[in-house]
Amino acid sequence: MASNTTTTTDTTSQDYRVFNFCAGPSTLPLPVLKQARDEFFNYKGTGMSVMELSHRSKVFDEIIETAESNLRTLLSIPSNYRILFFQGGGMGQFAATYLNLQASKYAHEKRAKLGKELVCDYLVTGSWSEGAVKECKRLGGNANLVIDTKDSKYSHIPDKSTWKLSPPEETAYVYYCDNETIHGVEFDPDAVTSIVDPSVPIICDISSNILSRPIDISKFGVLVAGAQKNMGPAGATLVIVRDDLLERPQDVVPKAVSQLPTVFDYALFAKAKSLLNTPSTYTIYMCGLVYKWVIDQGGVEGMQRLREKRSGILYDVIDKYPDFYHGFVAKQNRSSMNPVFTLPNEELSAQFLKESQELGMVQMKGHRSLGGIRPSLYNALPVEAVEHLVKFMEEFYQKHK
């Protein structure tokens, strides 16, 4: 049986571990899990678990402040950006990003100058960006599809020469998902920031590839990420937002402000340092442990080296047997976090999943909307797990080709 530390078939042993390829909630680093276990009942002599600590206590202040400080270091977040922890998951941010940008002084002044509502530009390359644009329209937003690859089953990102960006003076923001977890599509670094006018804020969903490679935060207006991919357990959503987008017009109260729920208001959360209401305290604590672990592994640059090694090993096998392990995303756009592929028929897919699970590799079934196989390769997944997988893939191919 596969294990990150020891090999044992005793499923009741604390050393028993499988290789968890789940797309989320995802595998967590073993050192993080062990530290959380050791601190679970009595955190630093308080006689309480972090789960029991008041979010208004000095002890929790230290937890969240250390987490923010380490994240700022890891991502080189400039001083004019706020780090906020919300609940509601990535889907909650579909609405929050739209409503907060519409409520900003920036958008209000731009609307007044233009004399009409601004356009919200969306790059639709998978289910998550599709969900975001649907929410924008549901809330009455004037959405423009810069690209939409649904007809091609989200198999590629079109050449930038075909993108239909709105004129900068008419645009509220540009929104995209950097890595589509379900469809396995990932943007190249700087792909969007290199073409969007600097005057237009870019909103980026980096839920499933945050901390896996360097990113220039200063080129974005807002970045959002659910915790349960590369940062920690489910329960918290990270928002990184530029200070000027938190400003509100003083002379009027735009309709967008009155429509913005308090629990999604970036400006109020920034003022309260994420403590406007009771936050997901334990998830934030776990994220803080992960941030420290990433620092110990060589930071984001260290994670990038491991990311490239893991995905390279897997894609080598997929490319070796393309008619058997069919990767349907264009090579230049395929994800290093969420590779997706199909087998020749559903029976083989079911057999693949059954046999791999017997060998200690779990949760590789593709999303229910897509099918196939999806072994997610997040930061905490050891290279050993991918080596174990590709060995199985070679043997499975030889038996069923």
Residues labelled as active-site residues: 128, 205, 229
Which tokens sit at 355? 């046999």
Across 154-294, the runs of DSSP E, i.e. the strands, are 171-177, 179-180, 185-186, 202-205, 222-226, 237-242
Which tokens sit at 297? 């592994």
| 176/193 Cα distance (integer angstroms) | 11
| 346/326 Cα distance (integer angstroms) | 13
Name the nearest CA neighbour of 20 among 392, 397, 382, 400. Answer: 382
From residue 300, alpha-carbon distances to 73, 82, 241, 308 in Å are 10, 20, 20, 12
Positive or negative CA dihedral for 70, 71, 73, 77? negative
| 346/209 Cα distance (integer angstroms) | 29
For 185, residues 6+ apart whose C-beta sits below 8 A from its C-beta are 125, 126, 149, 154, 155, 156, 157, 179, 329, 333, 334, 335
Q: What is the DSSP string of 237-263?
A: EEEEEEGGGG---SS---HHHHTS-GG
For 245, residues 6+ apart whose C-beta sits below 8 A from its C-beta are 100, 101, 104, 106, 201, 221, 222, 266
Q: Strands 202-205 and 222-226, how do they pair?
A: parallel
Q: What is the residue whose two structure tokens read 């442990």?
A: 289
From residue 372, alpha-carbon distances to 25, 299, 324, 326, 347 in Å are 19, 33, 12, 9, 11
